[in-house]
Amino acid sequence: MSMDDRRIRRKRARRTAGVLLAAVALAACPAAQLRTEDEAPGWRFGEALPRSVGEVAMAATPREVDGEPVDHIAVVGGIRGLGSAQDRVYLYNPSENRWHEGPSLPEPRHHTTAASLHGALYVSGGARSVTGSWEPEATVWRLAPDSDRWHAVPDMPDGRYGHRLVVAGEELVAVGGHGPGRDTFIYRTDGRDDESARHADTGEAYEAGKWRRAAPIPVMRDHLSVVVAEGEIWAIGGRADDENFARVDIYDPAADRWRDGPDLPADTSGAAEGFIDGEILIFGGEDPSFLGGQVFDRHWRIDPSADDPRWSEAEPPLQAVHGAEGAVLDGRFYIAGGAHRQGGRSVISWRDLLQIRERYGTPRAHSGRR
């Protein structure tokens, strides 16, 4: 047997061993249950994403269609396949139940986050590569509703990934994440349009707004869920150093002060979140441990205006996932993509599902999917 033949046999043996190891790992880690619409009251399927993807940013944002603003759900960046960071942006039009591709990001990003302010979509931070050590990015990009090009706005004070970007009043607020320090970052735009902006690829000067540092979150963690409710910002769950948290911290922007909130009944990280019908909703999440970890099929709700707010169980979605921010539009809750297995197993578990939770009391139109 020649040396080349021996090399080929060894390579085939390693490949076979890898497949067997993956099969054993999958058998030891079943995927989160996929329910039918009849098994998940209040939920329905929308048109599937063009690609299976996870660790995405999501936000409701207007896009101009035939000269008129039309609200869409934006799904931004993420990871697909065995570890490819994405620059793609998918836009979902609820009135048509249809996806189309929007302007791509200037660079690939995963574990980024998005929010819409004054009709423009902002995307902050994230990491650009899935291989090697992930470097938290400080970049922030803005997409106007009538533009086909992203523009750079001032960077965050520090790089972050696995954080959340939300809108509080007239400002963007970046909370948590992986990166130096525990500071909260707050951005106020001066409202200038894209014509005065700096193109991300030309580097032309742009001074549309300014970031400032605010009170640090008491316990820094990434993969947390963040919701604006009753004028305050709730930072829920998350993880640090591979440890999940059930803790909740509440930020008062007017006082620039954090206080303790009611802990979740159980820890989670990477969950989808939203504020709808006067309630904070938390769906899914994960324990990312390779052995013993899981995607959590447990879901929570709370009324933040109650005298003594307490978490209770929420109706389960069609499938529990991690790695998908929630988005709220017109009283409906959306979860797009994510993964139905945890941690390192996510790379063989990305989903293309669009899950839609109807408003309370709204008759559900069955999608026909089972």
pLDDT digits (tens, 9 = 90+) for 68-93: 999 999 999 999 999 999 999 999 99
pLDDT over 50 at 31, yes or no: yes
Where does the pLDDT of residue 360 fall: very low under 50, low under 70, confident under 90, or very high at 90 and above?
low
pLDDT at 192: 54
Is the backbone of residue 328 left (phi > 0), alpha (psi -120 to 50) or beta? beta
Which pLDDT belongs to residue 8?
40
* Res 195: pLDDT: 43
Confidence grade of residue 19 (pLDDT, cut at 50, 70, 90): very low
Specify the pLDDT at position 189. 84
Q: How far apart are CA 288 and CA 207, in angstroms?
A: 40
For residues 251 and 184, is the Cβ–Cβ distance under 8 A?
yes
Determine the 3-state secondary structure of 11 from DSSP.
Answer: helix
Structure token pair of residue 40: 């998940």
- What percentage of the chain carries pLDDT values higher than 70? 84
Identify the pLDDT of residue 10.
Answer: 53
- Report residue 293 CA to chain centroid gap: 20
pLDDT at 255 over 70: yes
Q: What is the pLDDT of residue 367?
A: 56
Question: Over 70: is that where the pLDDT of 337 sits?
Answer: yes
Average pLDDT, the chain: 89
8 A C-beta contact, residue 131 and residue 140: no
- For the segment 120-137, the average pLDDT, to the nearest whole number, is 95
**pLDDT value for 300:** 97
Q: How confident is residue 20, by pLDDT bands cut at 50, 70 and 90?
A: very low
Type of residue numbered 369: R
The pLDDT-based confidence of 133 (bands split at 50, 70, 90) is confident
Assess contact for 148 and 124: CB atoms under 8 A: no
Distance CA 164, CA 161 (A): 8
Domain ranges in the chain are 1-30, 33-357
Mean pLDDT in residue range 325-350: 96
The per-residue pLDDT for 194 is 44
Contacts of 176 (CB under 8 A, 6+ apart): 160, 162, 163, 164, 217, 220, 221, 222, 224, 226, 235, 238
Higher pLDDT, 130 or 14: 130
Per-residue confidence (pLDDT) for residue 297, from 0 to 100: 97
Cα separation of 323 and 321, whole Å? 7
Average pLDDT of the residues in 100-125: 97
Using CB atoms within 10 A of its CB, is residue 3 exposed (0-12), middle (13-18) or buried (19+)?
A: exposed
d(CA 207, CA 366) in angstroms, rounded, equals 48
Tens digits of residue pLDDT in 220-248:
999 999 999 999 999 999 999 989 999 99
What confidence tier does 291 reach under pLDDT thresholds 50, 70, 90? Answer: confident
Q: Greatest CA span in the chain, whole angstroms?
A: 79
Fold of 33-357: Neuraminidase (2.120.10)
Q: In the prediction, which pLDDT does 146 show? A: 94
- The neighbouring-strand residues paired with 57 are 76
41 vs 206, higher pLDDT: 41
Residue 285 clears pLDDT 70, i.e. is over it: yes
Strand partners, 214: 184
> What residues pair up with 68 in beta bridges, in sequence order?
65
Confidence of residue 94 (pLDDT cuts 50, 70, 90): very high
Is 98's pLDDT higher than 60?
Answer: yes
Query: Per residue, what are the HEC states of 245-284?
Result: ECCEEEEECCCCEEEECCCCCCCEECCEEEEECCEEEEEC
CA pseudo-torsion sign 304, 235, 311, 94 = positive
Residue 129 makes CB contacts below 8 A (sequence gap 6+) with 85, 108, 135
What pLDDT shows up at residue 278? 95
Residue 116, both tokens: 């819409």
Local structure of 354: helix, strand or coil: strand
35-60 tens-digit pLDDT? 999 999 999 999 999 999 999 999 99
